[in-house]
Amino acid sequence: MIVMKFGGTSVADATAISALASAVADARADHPLVVVSAMSGVTDTLVAITAAMLHGEHLAVSAAREALRDRHLEVASDLGVMEQVHADLEAHLERLGTLVTDRRELTAAGRDAILGTGELLSSCLVAAAALADRGMPAVWCDARRVIRTDARFGAAIPDQAAIRQLAAQELRPHLDAGALLVTQGFIGATATGEPTVLGRGGSDFTAALLGAALDAERVEIWTNVSGLMTADPRIVPDAHVLAEATYDEAAELAAFGAKVLHPATQLPLVEAGIPIVIRNTFAREAPGTRIAAETATNAPQSVRSISIKRGVTVLQVRAARMLGAFGFLRRIFEVFERHEIVVDVLATSEVSVSLTVDPSPRLEQVVRDLAELGEVTLREHRAVIAVVGGAIRDTPGIAARVYQAIADVNVEMTSQGASTSNLTFIVREEEGPRVVRALHATFFGGPT
Ligand code: ADP
Ligand code: ASP
Ligand code: MG
């Protein structure tokens, strides 16, 4: 069997869902399990609803809910499946209505239940469309019965052993009976049945978790580009699609801004060596990008792709006391651990530590705690640029070419060598796109 995951743009409207159904029909012989995201923009709307709830903006909440209802019913009508899905859509919308009008304070669990509604709605439409259009009987499965997570609401951690067992119980019998299964990405539930979500963009991760649990032949991520590219095509219009990449390269790119893949996607798949293939719902003839432990051919250059993560904050702690002292780094990192702040890029000198973090309201307290250890500076609106390629560390001259390409840019911090496949550095956010274009021209040709 294979897993086919379709992202937000692949379920955005009736045309997209028809393209999806064609892709699934083409893959019928591979026994697909279909995982879908919410329609594009819907999770953002649900996030906005929770924000409006916190501000007591009841009118905005009900207007947004009505808009969601209209959009889904319209697509159901366009697909000609209203009769099959109307009751199910209304049931999910009614549940959303109860959640958003709950007069008690919005809890973290309540918020996750709201955020997961988009996938419940879109999966109903997809299951019905597959059935109606192509004579493929689809079975709708509730992912919350399979994707068991902890109770870290907002970005819950999956329990892979439990998921394997639940998939065997809930999904395997349907697959064995030859049914086409349609389920939701992004959502899960705790052992006590409280709904959770895996974090933004988490549907890719769901696909991988199910692929690993069901020993899939491969996990296909269907999206609106024809694969992993040499750079984000929105920044570099002449970026091109890569035929292949390694798990490590894909993970580094995803961690540093390549939105096409959730950063955790490869994690459940590496051990079993299950490949990921990125495909384009709207260009089904394109072969896509195959991501696996090893690539068959190596690109002529060791640089595979360049990514950018914007909106990063850089913290620097300087302390003369650090010179020759031990235990200093531990004390710094304890502060981040205590406040549950994830550190991305790190560089150290004898007397200072620089690191990047995502913006968070908790940073204020972090800075206060760090100030007890040394002099702290905080710089916001930075971008991490990652030059990624499996052989970067072992290829002479890459760093020289990088710095030559961006000689006129102030590089504020650099980290290389911690990973064999990554050279990262920090620039001011507004310079980021220009830097990516200059690097792309250097390593892949084309206009600067
Ligand atoms: P989906 O909704 O299908 O999950 P996403 O919007 O999450 O799709 O991811 C696809 C988008 O990722 C593309 O439209 C593209 O703009 C962006 N992207 C960023 N970096 C890359 C890259 N290196 N290769 C391909 N796409 C990229
Ligand atoms: N719908 C979710 C989001 O927008 C999950 C996903 O698209 O992968 O974050
Ligand atoms: Mg995505």
pLDDT of residue 101: 86
403: nearest Cα among 419, 421, 427 = 427
120 CA → ligand 2 middle, Å: 12
Distances (CA, A) of 90 to 38, 69, 121, 280, 306: 16, 8, 9, 31, 44
Q: How many other C-beta atoms are found inside a 10 Å radius of the C-beta of residue 394? A: 10
> Is the CB of 203 inside a 6 Å radius of any atom of ligand 2?
yes
Contact assessment for residue 139 and residue 182, using Cβ atoms and an 8 Å cutoff = yes
Q: Kindly state the tokens that stand for 143.
A: 């992912």
- Please report the sign of the dihedral spanned by the C-alpha atoms of residue 44, residue 46, residue 50, residue 55: positive
Which protein residue has the closest C-alpha to ligand 2 atom 6?
201
pLDDT of residue 351: 83
Read off the pLDDT of residues 34-54 as tens digits, 9 standing for 90 and up. Answer: 999 999 999 999 999 999 998
Q: How many other C-beta atoms are found inside a 10 Å radius of the C-beta of residue 176? A: 10
pLDDT of residue 446: 75
- SS3 of the chain: the string is CEEEEECHHHHCCHHHHHHHHHHHHHCHHHCEEEEECCCCCHHHHHHHHHHHHHCCCHHHHHHHHHHHHHHHHHHHHHHCCHHHHHHHHHHHHHHHHHHHHCCCCCCHHHHHHHHCHHHHHHHHHHHHHHHHHHCCCEEECCHHHCCEECCCCCCCCECHHHHHHHHHHHCHHHHHCCCEEEEECCEEECCCCCEEECCCCCHHHHHHHHHHHCCCCEEEEEECCCCCECCCCCCCCCCCECCEEEHHHHHHHHHCCCCCCCCCCCHHHHCCCCCEEEEECCCCCCCCEEEECCCCCCCCCCCCEEEEEEEEEEEEEECHHHCCCCCHHHHHHHHHHHCCCCEEEEEECCCEEEEEECCCCCHHHHHHHHCCCCEEEEEEEEEEEEEECCCHHHCCCHHHHHHHHCCCCCCCEEEECCCCCEEEEEEEHHHHHHHHHHHHHHHHCCCC
Question: Which atom, in ligand 1's list, is nearest to the CA of 305?
Answer: 23
pLDDT of residue 448: 58
Ligand nearest to the CA of 223: 1
> Is the CB of 43 inside a 6 Å radius of any atom of ligand 2?
yes
What distance in Å separates the CA atoms of residue 317 and residue 13, rounded to the nearest whole number?
A: 49
> Is the CB of 188 inside a 6 Å radius of any atom of ligand 2?
no
Which protein residue has the closest C-alpha to ligand 1 atom 12?
260
Best probe residue, ligand 1, of 230, 260, 291 (max atoms within 8 Å of C-beta): 260
Per this entry, what is the length of the chain?
A: 448
Which protein residue has the closest C-alpha to ligand 2 atom 5?
201
Question: Which residues, given as ranges, of the chain have pLDDT below 50?
Answer: 300
Phi–psi pair at 242, nearest 5 degrees? -90, 135
Read off the pLDDT of residues 232-275 as tens digits, 9 standing for 90 and up. Answer: 999 999 999 999 999 999 999 999 999 999 999 999 999 999 99
Spatial neighbors of 88 by CB under 8 A, at least 6 apart, are 124, 140
First to last CA, the chain: 44
What distance in Å separates the CA atoms of residue 414 and residue 35, rounded to the nearest whole number?
A: 38
Q: CA 229, 380, 416: angle at the middle one, nearest 5?
A: 50
Buried (b) or exposed (e) across 286-324, using 16+ Cβ within 10 A?
eebbbbbeebeeebeebbbbbbbbeebbbbbbbbeebee
Q: Which residues pair with 448 in a beta bridge?
A: none
pLDDT of residue 104: 67
Question: Which atom, in ligand 2's list, is nearest to the CA of 203?
Answer: 8
pLDDT of residue 113: 96
CA dihedral 95, 98, 102, 107 (to 10 degrees): 10
196: nearest Cα among 182, 185, 180, 212 = 185
410 CA → ligand 3 middle, Å: 32
Spatial neighbors of 271 by CB under 8 A, at least 6 apart, are 212
Contact assessment for residue 215 and residue 272, using Cβ atoms and an 8 Å cutoff = yes
Best probe residue, ligand 2, of 43, 44, 46, 224 (max atoms within 8 Å of C-beta): 43
